[in-house]
Structure 1
C-alpha cells in the first residue's frame, strides 16, 4: 500500500510540475546536440527560476508539445549563442535562422503570447500554411517558397507529401517548402493567386517574395525529379527569363 501511495504522489508531482518535463542544458555539447536533434528547437535562457517570464515560458512549453523545448542557465552556453540577458530563442534548420525574444524588452509577457511566438516561428522543412505560420514564413530571410498545393483526403496526397518532405532539406537556406491545403476556405486566395481551383490540384508552384512573382510547374505527374528540376531552374534564373518579355533592340538614330 505504501508503494502504491508513493507512486501516485510521484505522478501527481510530475503532472503539477511542468518544469520537470523540460530538459535542462548544462553545457555547450548538450546544447549543440539538442539544437541539432530537431528541425525547430526552443531554448529558454533564464538566469534564475525567479526570472521574469519563467513561469509563463513553462506554461507555454507545456502547450507546445510538438516542439522540442529546453532550459539553460549556463553562461558558457549563453556566450556560444550570443545571449546577454534572459531570452527565449528559436533555432530553425529550414532557413538556418535564429529568432530571439529578449524578455527585458517585452512589454507584456503571458503564456498565450509566448505560444503565439513559438507557433509563428515554427518554420520547418515543410510548413503547413495558415494564418499563424504565414507570419514566420514571410518574415524569414529566405524569400523563395516552393508550394505543394494539394487537397487533403485525396489518395495521392500522402505520397506527394513524402516526396516533398524528402526534397526539402536539399534546399536548406535557399527555399522554404510549404504545404497549402486547398480544401481549406482560408487558402482560396492562395489558389486564386496561382490561377487555380481546387479541381486543378495537386500542383507545384514557386512564389518569390523579393519580386512578388509566381511560377507554376506544368501540369503532369508530380515526381521528385520534376520538382527538383523546377526548383533548380528557378535558382539558376531560367524560370525568371521565361517570364521576361523580349527586349527590343536599341534604336540607332540616323
Structure 2
C-alpha cells in the first residue's frame, strides 16, 4: 500500500528532463518530502535549472556515489520550505534529522571532487562505520551521544549485530548516533583501548557521551536488541551517571 502511494506520488510530482541520465526533478514540496523519506541519506540541488552552476558537478558526483540518491528542485516557492533563498546543494540525513547546506554563493570554486568529499563527510547513516572520513560528520552532528558496536569485520556477529542495530536505530533518532567500530582495523585500536577493550574481547557495545566526555560498556553477555534498547534508555533516564566508566579500574558493570 505504502509503496503504491509512494510511486504514485513520484509519478505525479517528479519529472525527468529530456537529457539522458539527468537528475530527476522535484516539482513540489510533497515530491521533495517523499524523496527525502526514500533513503537514509539523499542530496538535492535547489537550483534554478540544469544550466545553473553546480548542476553538472552534482550529476557527476551522484554517479560516483550512487548509494546517495540525488535530484534537483527548480521551484523557488519550495525552497522557502527549507529556509533556502539561493542556489544550494543540500544533504538530508535521517539518522539525526539533519539538513546540511552547501550554499553555492559561498563556495569559491565548486568541483566534482569537492562535492564528492562534501557528500562523503556528511553521509551519516542509521549505522555508520567509523573511519577518518565519517568521523568528521559524526562529531559535527548536533547529536553528541554515540551507541557504539565494537565488532570484528568478517565474523558472524559483525553482520548479525549490524543488522539488529540498523533496525533499532530509527527509534533513537535525534538521541543517539549508532556507530560501528571494526576491531580488526589497526587504526581503531585507540578507540578500543579508550574503552579498556582488545580485539579478542569483541563484540561489545558501549555508549560515549560527547557532552560529558563519559563512556560506559554494556555488561558482557548476549547482545540482544532488548538489552541494547534498555542500555540506551538507562542513559536517557540518567541512570548511568553513577556507574563507573568503561576502561576504569576496577570496572563496575551495570
Q: TM-score range by the shorter chain?
A: 0.7 to 0.9
Rate the CA distance shift 1:48–1:21 in 2: closer, same or farther, 3 A: closer
The equivalent of 2:140 in structure 1 is: 139
Rate the CA distance shift 1:112–1:226 in 2: closer, same or farther, 3 A: same
Alpha-carbon distance in structure 1 between the residues aligned to 2:231 and 2:76:
45
Deviation at 1:65, TM superposition (A): 0.3
**Do the aligned partners of 1:151 and 1:157 also contact (CA within 8 Å) in 2?**
yes
**Pairs aligned (count):** 228
**Secondary structure in structure 1 of the residue aligned to 2:90:** strand
**Secondary structure in structure 2 of the residue aligned to 1:113:** helix
Rate the CA distance shift 1:32–1:63 in 2: closer, same or farther, 3 A: same
Alpha-carbon distance in structure 2 between the residues aligned to 1:50 and 1:62:
18
TM-score by length of 2: 0.86
The equivalent of 1:166 in structure 2 is: 167
Alpha-carbon distance in structure 1 between the residues aligned to 2:71 and 2:164:
31
The equivalent of 2:129 in structure 1 is: 128
Structure 1: 5+ residue runs without aligned partners?
1-16, 245-254
Following TM superposition, where does structure 1 have runs of at least 4 consecutive aligned residues deviating by more than 6 angstroms? none
**Cα RMSD (Å) of the superposition?**
1.6
Rate the CA distance shift 1:18–1:183 in 2: closer, same or farther, 3 A: farther
**Secondary structure in structure 2 of the residue aligned to 1:156:** helix
In the alignment, is residue 192 of structure 1 matched against residue 203 of structure 2? no
**Do the aligned partners of 1:142 and 1:176 also contact (CA within 8 Å) in 2?**
yes
The equivalent of 1:152 in structure 2 is: 153
Deviation readout 1:68-103 (Å, 9 max, x if unpaired): 111111112111111111101111111111110101
TM-score by length of 1: 0.86
**Do the aligned partners of 1:85 and 1:102 also contact (CA within 8 Å) in 2?**
yes
Alpha-carbon distance in structure 1 between the residues aligned to 2:226 and 2:55:
47
The equivalent of 1:236 in structure 2 is: 237
Deviation at 1:21, TM superposition (A): 4.3
**Do the aligned partners of 2:195 and 2:215 also contact (CA within 8 Å) in 1?**
yes
Q: Find the structure with the greater CA-based Rg.
A: 1
Rate the CA distance shift 1:229–1:44 in 2: closer, same or farther, 3 A: same
Alpha-carbon distance in structure 2 between the residues aligned to 1:193 and 1:52:
45
Alpha-carbon distance in structure 2 between the residues aligned to 1:202 and 1:183:
11
